[in-house]
Amino acid sequence: MNPTTNTNEQKLTKLLHQNETRPAVDKVLLTDTSVWKDSTHESLAHLCSFKKILAANRGEIAVRICRAATELNVKSATIYAFEDRNSAHRWDSDESYILPASGTPVGAYLNIENIINVAKENGIDAIHPGYGFLSESSEFAQACKDAKITFVGPSVENLQMFGDKTKARELAINAGVSVVPGTSTPLTTSEEAVEFVKNRGLPIMVS
């Protein structure tokens, strides 16, 4: 037998054997946190005082929130619509709660009252909205505040201010920040838009 071939076969056999044993090792590392002697979540635990964080989102966004919570040694919780019962975020958290139907699958994640109820009933002291859905809702941030639950995001006042583009623009101008030319109030007619174009030219952005 060719010595080179024999050596290659030996290397391949060894590699296959190593791959066969890896799942068992991965299982230990994922389920037995006592083996993490010098892990990230232990070294960062002192940075977060929350006991349990709810990811008020779905899919990959919620998965990443749960991962961050684990690194901070904080319990994670997720919510899911019935249609998302097999989604990854349901299984990647320490706790998971189904939301009542709210017309559509997406609607379940927009029902503030139901989300707050889940948090209050299950000892959740912080809610991370991720992005999209209720992440820019001042109403949701206020509901968290009223329920004495920390909203992981901007303050209610900031959300109210920056949620209104006109107010945000005025704030920037008052702070001396340069802004592109634009109207100081919302346009109400197409004639106003035409007049602006005549004065400023094209292109323009309507938002």
User: Are 172 and 152 found together in one domain?
Assistant: no
- Whether residue 206 lies inside any domain: the answer is no
* 70 & 146 share domain: yes
Same domain as 156, residue 57: yes
**Per the domain annotation, does 88 fall within a domain?**
yes
**Range of the structural domain that residue 147 is part of:** 40-160
Strand order in the sheet with 75-80: 95-98, 75-80, 52-55, 126-128, 150-151
Residues 71 and 150: their CA atoms lie apart, in Å, by: 19
Verify that 115 and 152 share a domain, yes or no: yes
Instruction: Look at residue 1 in the predicted model and tell me its pLDDT.
Output: 46
State whether residue 168 is helix, strand or coil: helix
Q: Is residue 205 part of a domain?
A: no
Whole-number pLDDT of residue 108? 96
Task: Measure the CA dihedral 189/195/199/205, to 10°.
Answer: 30
97 and 54 inside one domain: yes
What is the pLDDT, as a whole number, of residue 47?
Answer: 72
Q: Is 83 within a domain?
A: yes
Q: Which helix (H) or strand (E) holds 51?
A: none
Look up the CATH number of the domain holding residue 67. Answer: 3.40.50.20
- Predicted pLDDT of residue 18: 43
Q: Does residue 207 fall inside a structural domain? A: no
- Do 82 and 140 belong together in one domain? yes
pLDDT of residue 16: 41
Quote the pTM value: 0.69
Query: What residues of the chain score a pLDDT lower than 50?
Result: 1-5, 11-38
Do 172 and 121 belong to one domain? no
Asked whether residue 11 falls in the same domain as residue 47, the answer is no
User: Do 144 and 79 share a structural domain?
Assistant: yes
In 3D space, the residue among 108, 70, 69 whose CA is nearest the CA of residue 87 turns out to be: 108
Same domain as 96, residue 15: no
Number of neighbouring beta carbons within 10 Å of residue 2 = 8
Place of tokens 């946190």: 33
Degrees to nearest 5, angle at CA 77 with 129 and 80: 70
Count Cβ neighbours within 10 Å for each residue of 165-177 and write b for 16 or more, e otherwise: eeeebeeeeeeee
